[in-house]
Amino acid sequence: MFLSKVPPLSRLNLLLLICTGLFSACAVGPDFKQPDAPKAKSYTESPLSQKLTAAPGVPGGTPQEFTEGADIEAQWWTLYKSPELDALIKKALEQNPSLGAADAALRAAQENVSAQIGGQYFPAVSVGGAATRQLQPSAIYGLPYGSDTYNLYNTSVNVTYKLDVFGGARRAVEGARAQAEVAQFQLEGAYLSLTANVVTGAVKEAALRAQMQATEEILKAQINLADVTEKQLKIGTVNKVDLTSQQTLVASSQVDLFNYERNLAFARNQLALLVGELPSNANIAKFDLSNLHLPEKLPLSIPSSLVRQRPDVRAAEAQLKAQNAFVGVATANLLPQFNITGSIGSAALTSAALFGPNSALWSIGGGILQPLFQGGQLLAQRRGAIANYEQAAFQYQATVLNAFQEVANALRALETGAQALKAASDAERYAYETLDLVQQQYKLGTTSYLAVLYYQNQYQQAKVKSVAAQATRFSDTAALFAALGGGWWNREGPAFKPKDIANKDQNETSGTN
């Protein structure tokens, strides 16, 4: 009775107002609660040294100390003070295809949120019109004569709305938003992984180059000694075994040199991949350990903040939030479904009369649907949603544990790496001094060739180990920055910064559907 007194357009507006007012209903399913941060006061089982062991005079021997509670710079790699490294990372952030794919995945997830909001929260409104010419026998009206041929014109505005009484739509949107958060933190994780890999790749390239250079120097000394031994063989002061042993050592060092050349090529090819270039076109800079600066201050976040900084932990948390929302969606599907439909328009036998006083038509209707039996499908879907939530909870726990393990490993690696570099640099220096003395004694004929051979091997091993220890110090520092989250929260601008996006508007449309 009330609606019959309301004008047609006002009825449609009233319908939309009722639909909007129903948003205040409660949503079924559990509300998401952010997991508490682990209660830990430190990362390692035993206390860390505040200052790390220094090795003066060698690359990577800079004294380092931890600064507890300090924030991490967004561009932490600039602390290495290498313009070549900065340029390489900038290029990678513009061209790396994996980072670009993660960025596209985020944009797709964000558009899905908009689609869910539009489809779940708002009525579907459509407008239509038709013109038909038709023949109908009079018998369908109960009349005994002939048939009628006539034209029929009509136009209408239709509204369909599903009432979100139990919050299933809101949970669906909540789940879509959480999945967009997953994509966002996966992008941040790709950004962190890319920058860390470029740094460690550059360090590896520099280390291989240094080891290759050291091997070349050792090989040159071995060849010189082989020439001396060959001359001594001619005058009879040494035997043939001494010469062949030295020649064997020369050949062995040549094999090592070839291996370093191969691994160096592989390392440069890997850097080309990271910057999104073909190996033949990458034009990668040559890195030198002596030109890299080791950061002296190492920020150490408090343990409780780690779960808010690590992109993988945040992604796991967002996935947990999404699965929690989907439990609500599955629960709402078990309950009655309400919908309202409305239509307003006109119909006439001529186009001129289509909007005349006697052509108006309208309808308003409502419906309710309560699922009774679907073979257990809805109950099984809800049980599956709960199981998915439990799986996400366990995965979150595993991700947190892995995050703390990586930080603890990085801290211990830094501590022992500093000590190892000091010992390795001392060993290299002592081995070189010993070899130099023994070679002089050998040339004077006061020591045996076996002594020279032994100390040559000893120095070669010490030199290679020293270079490896230097590279480890740079890589372990990068590993700590990455394990603590990399400072992405301090970055200005997007993670992926392409120079140019081809066919940018290829998939864009001007519609609002």
Whether residue 252 is contained in a domain is answered as yes
Query: 144-172 burial, b for 16+ CB within 10 Å, e for fewer?
Result: eeeeeeeeebbbbebbebbbbbbbbbbbb
Tell me how far apart the alpha carbons of residues 435 and 508 are, in angstroms, rounded to a whole number: 71
Whether residue 370 is contained in a domain is answered as no
Range of the domain at 419: 27-123+166-337+377-490
Whether residue 148 is contained in a domain is answered as no
CATH number of residue 31's parent domain: 1.20.1600.10
pLDDT of residue 354: 82
Largest Cα separation within the chain, whole Å, is 138
Find the length of the chain: 513
Whether residue 153 is contained in a domain is answered as no
pLDDT string in tens for the chain (513-residue length):
334 444 544 544 544 444 444 444 568 888 999 999 999 889 999 988 889 999 998 999 999 999 999 999 999 999 999 999 999 999 999 999 999 999 999 999 999 999 999 998 888 989 998 989 888 887 777 777 777 788 888 899 999 988 888 989 999 999 999 999 999 999 999 999 999 999 999 999 999 999 999 889 888 888 888 888 888 888 887 788 888 888 998 999 899 999 999 999 999 999 999 999 999 998 899 999 999 999 999 999 999 999 999 999 999 999 999 999 999 999 999 999 899 999 998 888 888 888 888 888 888 998 898 888 888 999 999 999 999 999 999 999 999 999 999 999 999 999 999 999 999 999 999 999 999 999 899 888 888 777 887 888 888 889 989 999 999 999 999 999 999 999 999 999 999 988 765 444 444 433 445
Report yes or no: 389 and 323 within 8 Å, Cβ to Cβ.
yes
Whether residue 444 is contained in a domain is answered as yes
- pTM for the model: 0.85
Among 180, 172, 182, CA closest to 29: 172
pLDDT of residue 401: 97
SS (H, E, C) 416-436: HHHHHHHHHHHHHHHHHHHHH
Whether residue 433 is contained in a domain is answered as yes
Separation in Å, CA 438 to CA 189, 217, 465: 54, 18, 21
pLDDT of residue 146: 73
pLDDT of residue 500: 65
pLDDT of residue 355: 82
Whether residue 501 is contained in a domain is answered as no
Q: Is 140 exposed, middle or buried (0-12, 13-18, 19+ CB in 10 A)?
A: exposed
3-state secondary structure at position 345: strand
Tell me how far apart the alpha carbons of residues 505 and 508 are, in angstroms, rounded to a whole number: 5
pLDDT of residue 303: 93
Whether residue 502 is contained in a domain is answered as no
Among 331, 455, 451, CA closest to 385: 331
Look at the chain and report how many structural domains it folds into. 1
